[in-house]
């Protein structure tokens, strides 16, 4: 037996969690919302709507579109978007550690 969980940030509805995190991670890696969406097996339009909803709920912009340039443009994360990712990563790691410990305390002793 093990502990399992889903955890997310909420602001009158889901504001940020594992799915959006992976999407941002993909954008950071590929520099492209389209590619990041494909990696998560969701449409470009759905990915875009997810990000717009997060931006609305959190009150800051996450995505910065870059137009033109050698690569023909793409998407990068804003500074608050990057900060959100980093904070979420640390939050998730600590939450996981704490939940495992609390689980062991109550169910393995």
| Site track 70-99 with a copy of itself (rule: CB under 8 A), x = hit | -----------------xx-xx--xx--xx
Report phi then psi at 54, rounded to 5: -60, -45
Restricting to residues 42-61, which ones interact with a copy of itself according to CB under 8 A?
57-58
Task: Examine residue 18 and tell whether it contacts a copy of itself (CB under 8 A).
Answer: no
In sequence order, the 6+-apart residues with CB closer than 8 A to the CB of 1 are 107
Q: Is residue 8 near a copy of itself by the rule CB under 8 A? A: yes
* Cβ partners under 8 Å of residue 88, min gap 6: 9, 16, 21
Q: Cβ of residue 108: shortest distance to a copy of itself, in angstroms?
A: 10
Shortest Cβ 56–a copy of itself spacing (Å):
13
Task: Select from 1, 41, 67, 70 the one that contacts a copy of itself (CB under 8 A).
Answer: 1
- The answer to whether 21 contacts a copy of itself (rule: CB under 8 A) is no
For 13-52, letters b (16+ CB in 10 Å) and e give eebbbeebbebbbbbeebbbbebbbebbebeeeebbebbe
As given in the structure block, the two tokens for residue 70 are 């050698």
Residues of the shown chain interacting with a copy of itself in the complex, contacts defined by CB under 8 A: 1-11, 14-15, 57-58, 87-88, 90-91, 94-95, 98-99, 102-103, 105-107
């Amino acid at each position: 037996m093990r502990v399992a969980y889903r955890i997310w940030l909420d602001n009158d509805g889901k504001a940020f969690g594992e799915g959006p995190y992976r999407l941002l991670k993909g954008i950071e890696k590929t520099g492209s919302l389209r590619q990041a969406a494909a990696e998560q097996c969701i449409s470009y339009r759905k990915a875009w709507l997810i990000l717009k909803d997060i931006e609305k709920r959190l009150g800051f912009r996450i995505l910065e579109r870059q137009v033109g340039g050698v690569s023909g443009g793409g998407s990068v994360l804003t500074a608050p978007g990057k900060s959100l990712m980093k904070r979420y990563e640390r939050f998730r790691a600590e939450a996981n550690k704490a939940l495992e410990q609390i689980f062991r305390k109550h169910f393995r002793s």
